[in-house]
Amino acid sequence: GVQASVMRAYRTPLAFTARLLPHGARRTAHRGNVPRSSVRTVVMASTSTTTLVTPKWVKDNLADIHVVDASWHMPALKRSAVDEFKAKRIPGAKFFDIDGVSDGANPAPHMLPSTQGMRAALNALGLIDDRAVVLYDNDGMFSVARAWWMFRVFGRDNVFVLDGGAPAYEAAGFTMELDGDVAAVDVSAQACQDAMKGEKGSDFRGEREFLVKSMDDVIKNIDASTFQVVDARGQARFRGEAAEPRAGVRSGHIPGSRNVFFGDLLNSNKTFKTKDEIRAIFVSNGVDLSGDKPIVCSCGTGVTACILALALDTIGNPNAAVYDGSWSEYGADEGAPIAVGEA
């Protein structure tokens, strides 16, 4: 089916090659003769067989890849991702704003922008060629997963994530770029918002709608049970025992959903745990990984849900969807049914 074919295209090096070559070179690629002018892009886009890459891989390939800082911090932390980027970054990095590259007209935070808005943001950052993109954040593993999911939703496959982020890169002894002149940091957000001026509608789903779910989809699924919903929030919030950080949002969870706290999937240095550990965590929390029933990830505002989706990708389930509005949208709707207590 569609899901299987997409998974094959996402994982097969030859599919990478065919997609990244100029149109006229594709037939040649299938014979194994990649034109010399195309070798660098193809090799770089397919050298990593996994979505997660190491600091050494990034350092060794800086000249051939796009490096993008996708840091974003919870407002309560009062940290500025922009200021931190200006002060220190991986050499040559550009800044992608997951909060600014969004549907600003939607009351829920950082909802997906339109295809036109996303394309404008990527164009402004010079990310429209076929070079591999490596995303990272300053926390190690937080908002970067949201950026990775966004890129995938809008049709990009040769996108990788630096496991452990900027802290891992520094811990490996590699030099960071400090201060200096940084091109307009807010170009991605500004380009997106300019492109979406006057655009009507919401519930944008990019170019791969199977990776995105809406509140309507989730509510219908409570009775239909065609997919599994996995909530990335902490246990107390999931059970309805802790107040939500956003005003006007009720406590509890989507009926029938499972709970896998995103932090349980990470080591203390914010790198992912082993594949076996990740599988065991999902299974122990009642998630079916057989592939027979699709998985939809949710959280508070659609950020840490993407960490679950990325974790599932690392263990061979690359097509987990994300409920974009997540609990900030669902819990604010008085008409949406809510459950409390254990899953």
pLDDT 10s digits, 98-123: 999 998 778 777 889 999 999 999 99
- How far is 130 from 41, CA to CA, in rounded Å? 7
Angle of helix 275-284 versus helix 304-314 axis, rounded to 10: 120
Q: Which residues contact 234 (CB under 8 A, 6 or more apart)?
A: 242, 261, 263
Q: Which residues pair with 258 in a beta bridge?
A: 230
The model's confidence at residue 231, banded by pLDDT at 50, 70 and 90, is very high
**pLDDT reported for residue 130:** 87
In this prediction, residue 30 carries a pLDDT of 32
Contact 157, 48 (CB under 8 A): no
pLDDT at 48: 65
- Residue 183: per-residue pLDDT: 65
Whether the per-residue pLDDT at 173 is higher than 80: the answer is yes
pLDDT band at 204 (very low <50, low <70, confident <90, very high): confident
Residue of 192, 297, 299, 306 marked catalytic: 299
| Closest by CA position to 15, among listed 42, 40, 36 | 42
Rounded to an integer, what distance in angstroms lies between the CA atom of residue 299 and that of residue 307? 10
- CB of 68 closer than 8 Å to CB of 93: yes
- Which residues have a Cβ under 8 Å from the Cβ of 240 and sit 6 or more positions away? 251, 252, 253, 338, 339, 340, 341
Q: Name the pLDDT band for 179 (thresholds 50, 70, 90).
A: confident
7 pLDDT above the threshold of 50: no
Contact at 8 Å (CB) between 287 and 253?
A: no
Beta bridge partners of 136: 69
pLDDT at res. 200: 67
- Asked whether residue 341 carries a pLDDT value surpassing 70, the answer given is yes
The yes-or-no answer on residue 306 being catalytic is no
3-state secondary structure 40-72: HHHHHHHCCCCCEECHHHHHHCHHHCEEEECCC
Q: Which amino acid is at 261?
A: F
